[in-house]
Amino acid sequence: MVKNIGLFWLKDDFRLKKNLGLIEATKNHDKVVVFYLYKKKKFQNQEAQKWWVGKSLDEFKSRLKKFNINLEIIKTDSYKLFFEKLYKKNDISLYWNRTYEPDYIEFDKYLSKNLEINKINFKIFKGNILNEYIEIKKADGTPFKVFTPFWRNAEKFYLEKIPSNEKKIFKCKKKISFFQNTIETKEIYPKKEWSKKFEKIWTPSEKNAIEELKIFINERMENYSEARNFPYKIGTSKLSPFIKHGQIHVETIWEECKKFKNKGVSKFLAEIGWREFNHSLINYFPYMLKGNYSKKFDKFPWEKNSKFLSAWKKGLTGYPIVDAGMRELYSTGWMHNRVRMIVGSFLVKHLLINWTEGEKHFRNCLLDFNEANNISGWQWVAGCGADAAPYFRIFNPILQGEKFDKEGDYVKKWVPELKTVPKKFIHKPWEINDTKILKIGKDYPPPIVIHENARSKALSAFKKI
C-alpha cells in the first residue's frame, strides 16, 4: 500500500463494478477520497441532468461510506485552476477514467503533462466504452464514416480481446476528508419544479441499472427487434440514462446479453455499437460538435420561426405523434427512439428549422443526454451527418403514427385532449366533423403546416445544396 492519499476524479462513473480508476485507487491506498467537480457553466443548458447527477451523487456517496471512502463535491469555474492548486500537494496520487469527448481528451493530455512536471503520480483508465475509439480504424488507418463496416470491425476487435479478470473495490482503513469549501447536492439540483416528476419514474443507482438490465433481458429481449419500434409498448431497455452517467458499464451489458442466444441480442448490441460509432465520429471530426459534418449543409436555407419552434417544444404542432413525443420528453426526461426520429424529422424537414435548435432542446430536457449521441443523432435525421438518412427521407407523421401507434394508445397517454377521438382519426384529428368529440382550434390545435406542402418545400430546399 502507498502511504499517500488516493484521489479519484469522478465524472460519469457512478458505479463500483468495472470502475477501473476507483478500483485501482483502493487497491493502492489505505485512504481514498472521491471528488466530483461541479462546473455550473457545463450544466447551464442541461437542466434535466442536474436532477440525475444530484440523485446519483447522493446515492453513490452513501454506497462509498461502506468502503470508508468520502465523496466530496467541489464547485469550480475552471478545471485548470482547480488542478493547479493540487500540484502543490505532494501527498497524493490521482486516478480517473476517460470521458470520450474532445475537450476531455485534450484536457487529459494537458493534465498528464502538468502532473508529470510536478511529479505527482497519476493513472488514466479506460472509461465506459467497449473499445478505445483510436483502436478502430480502416486498413489504411483512416476512421470509419459508415456504421456497418465500423461495427463489423469494432465487434470483432472486442471479441478477440483477451478478457481481463474482474476486479473489485477494496475497503479503505479509514475514511477521511480532503478538500475544503465543498458543497452539498442541493446546489446542483434544478430549481424548476418540473423535474419533480422524474422522482416517480427513475431511480438513479447502479443497483437499479443492473435490475433494469435483467428485467429487459428476461422479459423483452426476445421481441426487441420488433417491439422497439412501438412507443406504446415497453419494448426498449430504457438503460440510456444509466449508461450515460455510468451507473452501468457497456461491458457489463455486453457480458449479460451474450449469455442469451435469442434474436434480439445482436440488434440490441448494435445500439451499443452506434454509441461507439458516435464517439469515434466526434473525436475524429470534432468540428461537427459546432456545425454540420457535411459542409454542403452550411448553405442550407434554414428558416427562423420562433412560433413554430415554440409549438414544437410544447407539443402543440397539431400532429398527435409529434406532440405526444415532445410531451413525453418534458414529463419524463426521456423519449422513445422511434419518436425521436419522428419529432426530429418534423422539426428539420417540415418546419425547416436548423437541427441545432432541436439538439439544444434535447440537451436541456434529456436525462440521457450524451454529446456524441445527441449531436450525431440530430445530424443523422437532418441528413448532414455521417452515414445519415437521405435528404428525401421525410417522415410522414400521420403514416408513422398509424403504423407504430395504430390504436393511438401512445398518443392518448400523452395528449389526453384526444382521448375520446376514434382511432380512425387519432393521427389526423382535423378530419373529424363532430365538434362534440373535438373542436380543432379550441380543444387541440390545427396542424401548423400541411404535410404535403411542407414535404414539397423541404425537397426544394434540399435540392438547392
Closest CA to 365 of 202, 198, 131: 198
User: How many whole angstroms separate alpha carbon 313 and alpha carbon 309?
Assistant: 6
In a domain, 69, yes or no: yes
Whether 102 is covered by a domain: the verdict is: yes
Residues 300 and 360 in one domain: yes
A 10 A CB-CB count for 399 gives 12
> Quick one: 274 and 143 in the same domain?
yes
Reading phi first (left if > 0) and then psi (alpha if -120 to 50, else beta), residue 440 is in: beta
The amino acid that residue 178 corresponds to is: F
- What is the CB neighbour count within 10 angstroms for residue 223? 14
| Mean pLDDT, 10 residues at a time, the chain of 465 residues | 88 97 97 96 92 98 98 96 91 97 97 96 97 96 96 95 88 94 95 88 97 95 93 95 98 93 87 97 97 94 97 98 98 97 97 97 97 96 88 91 97 97 97 93 97 95 88
What type of residue is 461? Answer: A
User: Rounded CA gap, 401 and 344, in Å?
Assistant: 14
* Same domain as 456, residue 412: yes
- Residue 418 is given by DSSP the state G
pLDDT for position 163: 79
- The total of structural domains in the chain comes to 3
- Answer yes or no: is 196 within a domain: no
Q: Are strands 182-183 and 70-75 parallel, antiparallel or unpaired?
A: antiparallel
d(CA 365, CA 335): 10
454 and 307 in one domain? yes
Tell me the CA distances in angstroms from 391 to 156, 388, 458, 462, one per residue in order: 32, 9, 9, 7
Residues 239 and 302 in one domain: no
Same domain, 310 and 245: no
Task: Say yes or no: 447 and 330 in one domain.
Answer: yes
**DSSP H/E element including 330:** helix 320-332
134 in Cβ contact with 140 (< 8 Å): no
Residue numbers of the domain that contains 252: 128-165+202-284
Instruction: Say if residues 394 and 458 touch (Cβ distance below 8 Å).
Output: yes
CATH of the domain at 248: 1.25.40.80
Examine the domain organization and report whether 50 and 68 are in the same domain: yes
Question: How many residues are given for the chain?
Answer: 465
Q: Specify which residues 10 forms β-bridges with.
A: 36
User: Do 302 and 229 belong to one domain?
Assistant: no
Clarify whether residues 159 and 45 are in a common domain.
no
Q: What Å distances lie between residue 458 and 113, 174, 391, CA to CA? A: 50, 64, 9
- What integer pLDDT is reported at residue 1 of this predicted model? 64
Residue 308 belongs to domain with CATH number: 1.10.579.10
CA distance 396 to 404: 12
**465: three-class secondary structure by DSSP:** coil
Q: What is the pTM of this model?
A: 0.96
Q: Is 166 exposed, middle or buried (0-12, 13-18, 19+ CB in 10 A)?
A: exposed
> Which neighbouring-strand residues pair with 5?
92
Contact 198, 332 (CB under 8 A): yes
Q: 3-state class of 172 per DSSP?
A: coil
Same domain assignment for residues 300 and 252: no
Q: What is the pLDDT of residue 464?
A: 85
Tell whether 195 is covered by a domain: no
Residue finishing a domain among 284, 316, 341: 284
With respect to residue 172, please indicate whether it lies within any of the assigned structural domains. no
Cβ-based neighbours of 206, under 8 Å, separated by 6 or more: 14, 15, 16, 17, 60, 63, 247, 248
d(CA 2, CA 79): 26
**Does residue 183 lie within any of the structural domains?**
no
C-alpha–C-alpha distance, residues 86 and 115, integer Å? 9
Tell me, yes or no, whether 176 lies in a domain: no
Rounded to 10 deg, the angle between the 355-365 and 47-65 helix axes is 30
Q: Give me the CATH number covering residue 37.
A: 3.40.50.620
Domain endpoint, select from 79, 107, 127? 127
Is 364 found in the same domain as 273?
no
**Among candidate residues 103, 127, 151, the one where a domain is terminated:** 127
Q: Do the Cβ atoms of 212 and 239 come closer than 8 Å?
A: yes
Report the alpha-carbon distance of residue 273 to residue 6 in Å, rounded.
34
Query: Would 193 be classed as within a structural domain?
Result: no
Alpha helices by DSSP H, 221-300 = 224-227, 240-244, 250-257, 264-284
The identity of residue 224, as a single letter, is Y
